[in-house]
Structures are given as C-alpha cells and as structure tokens.
Structure 1
Amino acid sequence: MAPDFELVTLNGETVKLSDYRGKKVILNFWATWCPPCRAEMPHMQNFYEQNKDNGIEIVAVNLTKMDKGRMEIDKFVKEYGLTFDIPLDEEGDIGMQYQAFTIPTSYIIDTNGKIASKVVGPMDEPTMESLTNEIE
C-alpha cells in the first residue's frame, strides 16, 4: 500500500492520499526550481484535463522545505495554469517517506491504493497514459 499522508494544499484544503481511494492516482513530487519539473508540468496538466472525468487524479506534492516559498509556488501554479491538487510538504517528511531524492519522482497508484510503479524523471502524456492504462 502507498503510505497515507495528510497535507495542506496551496489552496488551504487538507487532503489525505486515502481520500483518492477508488481512483487511479499519479503522485508526483516536484519543486519550482527544478527544470525537468518545469518541463513536465504542462504534460501533467494536459493529461489531467483529458482524464479527470475518467477516474484519474494527479496529486503533485511540492517539496516546500526545499523550495523558494509559498509565493513562488503560487506564482508557478498560476503561470502554468495547474488545476490539480498541490499539497505542500513543508517539513519534507512525505518526500523522505516516498524516497523522492531525485525530482521529479512520480508514483502510479491503483484504485486500491497500491503502488503499481515508480518513475524517476519527467513524464509526458503517452507515458502517463500507458502507466495508468496498465492498472485497475
């Protein structure tokens, strides 16, 4: 099982990973200063827009402890037009728990909350599609 966590999003909502049970989840770890993360985010947003009504969620955990602050994160999210949940890992505990030592790192989680795969490095839409199609 994917370790559950509870974090506050950039919008001020408290979310738990277990809230998404029953959906396929791309759990992504990123930071604003990371060039591969910056390259990946438009692909994530496009994939999310195409699949959010098909039982797929993107939860993009910002490694806030390593980042440049909330204002910079907010600016980044607006600049990229991101509409999926952005939980803030302000203490760095969740990134450590998921061993997100290289970013971006993503976990593909099935509808039962089990980790199906881990991807280190940026993904594009075809990769996300392939990985989410492989799971229940």
Structure 2
Amino acid sequence: MNPDTIIQIGPLALALDRLLAVGLMLAFLTALDWIARRYRVAAWQPAGLALLAGIIAARAGHVWQYRESYALEPVAALQAWLGGWDWRAGVAAAGLVVIVTLRQSRPVLAGLGVLAGLALAWAGFLAAGESKSSLRLPQALTLERVTAEPGVSPHWQIGDLRGRPIVLNLWATWCPPCRREMPMLTRAAATERRAEILLVNQGETSAQIRVFLRAQGLDPAHVASDPSGLLSEMTGAGALPTTLFIASDGTVRQVHTGEITRVQLDIAIRALERP
C-alpha cells in the first residue's frame, strides 16, 4: 500500500504513514516498559527517553539532509508537525539510549530486538510503497486559464507542458489550508525555473476564482480552473489541498496531501529532477 494513502473518516483525512508511525511508537513504549519491569531495571523512564531521543534525531537528520531546502525558510525546521523525518537517525538514537539506560545485557538485547523488529516493519512498509507510480495524466487533459490574455490560448493542455516537471496544486476558495498556502505558491510559481507550477482550482467557476484572487491580492498568472473536478477524480485526491508532482514523462511521482510549505515544495521538486 502506498505510504501516501489517505484514510477518510467522515470529515477527517488521516495519512496512513503517520497512523502507522504512531502505532509503532506506542508498541515500542509498551514493549520497552515491559522489558524494564521484567528485568527490574533501575532507570527513569527508559522508554520515554529513547522515544524522545529518536524523535529529535529523526527530525534533525531530515533537516540536515535537506539543509539547502531549509535555507529557503529556516523557521520551517521547527515546524515538525508538518512532517519530515529521517527514520534511520531516529532508530540509531533510540538504540543508543536503550543501551545507556538499560545497561544489563539481557534487557539491552531485548530492547534492541524490539527496536530492530519495529524498524524492519517500517522499512517494509516504505519499500512496499516505493514501486514507481503508473499513473500518467492524459496529454489531452485541458485546464482553463482564469484570466484571458490577448494572443494566449484560454486553456492549458497537459501535453503542451510535457518535457519538464510539473507541479499541480489542487485547491478551492472555501478551503482554509488552501488559502494559507496560496500566497507562497503564487510567488513560487512566478519564480520557479525547474518546474511549471499550476494552481488548479477544483469545482468553482472562473468568476468565483477571480473575485477571490482580487480580494487576496494574488497573481492569477499561474492559476487554472478545473470546474468539473476531473483532476481530483482521476488522481484520487480525497482532500484539499493536494499537490501532485509530475515527472517530465507525465508520470505522477509524488502526491502531497494537506498544506505544503516552501521547504516541502523545494524538496519534492528536487526529487523530480532525479531519474
């Protein structure tokens, strides 16, 4: 199953990878607490300390790995709730704390065994979702320009954009996280040279969109309209905003559900440049 899968429960949209990560962390806490009691380890909260160390190291490892992207918006390094973790660094840090706090060989081996088992489960989950996407947007797919310019076609056709990476952000004027990310996305669309960025409204009329853009003082140059919501239907986007990262051959390489930051946008565009 794809790690980016979204589970819809009524109005709530929950990412499968985050649900699994929370489940594995709870399993780690439960197992390590049992081991500490079983072997009568005289240490203060070894499970909690190991988990905390793992979370901090996983975040720090991710920020360091993508330091060029975080240089665009350094404060985003502190916004851990938006995602971005190096799970290998987290496992290494948690293992070190297990060794230091449990000390005795039997509980240490038991604790490391639990950690290794949970890490393998996570690695297997990620590997299962790494198969390349077969979803390709049809070249004839047509999007409407929100603003008409003399001598410019009133439509964008996906086939005309082939040959370079494309980023399609699916949004609506009634969606609060969409409204929050729109200023950043319109600026990025105007300046980004590595990929074509289009902000594709879902299900609203061009007139509605123009009123919204005018009220917010946003540049409409890279805003398109998909009044039938066809893109959401084709790609299975169950929530807005959703951002599609499409390789130069037209294959949807990555799907980001929920609000996106400038750093996350940059990281995903860099990934599109890799074969």
TM-based fold match above 0.5 = yes
**Could you give the per-residue CA deviations for residues 71-91 of structure 1, whole angstroms, max 9, x where no partner exists?**
331022232423443222222
Give the match's secondary structure for 2:187: helix
Decide whether the 8 Å contact of 1:59 with 1:86 is kept in 2. yes
| 1:89–1:95 CA contact under 8 A, matched in 2 | no
Higher strand content, 1 or 2: 1
What pairs up with 1:1-136 in 2 under 5 angstroms?
1-4=135-138, 5-12=141-148, 13-51=154-192, 54-64=193-203, 67=204, 69-78=205-214, 79-136=216-273
What is the identity, as a one-letter code, of the residue corresponding to 2:271?
E
* Alpha carbons of structure 1 residues 85 and 49: separation in structure 2 relative to 1, 3 Å: closer
Please give the alpha-carbon distance, in whole angstroms, between the structure 2 residues aligned to 1:108 and 1:84.
19
Superposition deviation, residue 50 in structure 1 = 2.9
Figure out how many residues of one structure are paired with residues of the other and give that number: 131
Q: Measure, in 1, the Cα distance between the counterparts of 2:212 and 2:158.
A: 23
Contact 1:21 1:112 in 2 (8 A): yes
Which aligned runs of 4 or more in structure 1 are off by greater than 4 angstroms?
A: none
Give the Cα–Cα distance (whole angstroms) in 2 for the partners of residues 83 and 9 of structure 1.
9
CA distance in 2, matches of 1:18, 1:84: 19
Query: Which structure shows the higher helix fraction?
Result: 2
Letter of the aligned partner of 1:121 in structure 2? G
* Deviation of 1:55 (Å): 3.3
The 1:112–1:61 alpha-carbon spacing in structure 2 relative to 1, beyond 3 Å, is same
Q: Contact conserved, 1:43 with 1:123, CA < 8 A, in 2?
A: no
Q: Which structure's CA Rg is the greater one? A: 2
Retained in 1: the 8 A contact 2:165–2:245? Answer: yes
Of 102-111 and 15-24, more deviation after overlay is shown by 15-24
**Distance in 2 of aligned mates of 1:120 and 1:103:** 7
Counterpart amino acid of residue 59 in structure 1: L
Moved more, 119-128 or 39-48: 39-48
TM-score (norm: length of structure 2) = 0.44
Deviates most, 77-86 or 18-27: 77-86
Conserved? CA contact 2:213–2:219, under 8 Å: yes
| AA matched with 1:36 | P
Provide the aligned C-alpha RMSD in A.
1.8
Consecutive unaligned residues of structure 2, counting only runs of 5 or more, are 1-134, 149-153
Distance 1:49 1:34 in 2: 22
- Compared with structure 1, are the counterparts of its residues 107 and 70 closer, same or farther at alpha carbon in structure 2 (3 Å cutoff)? same
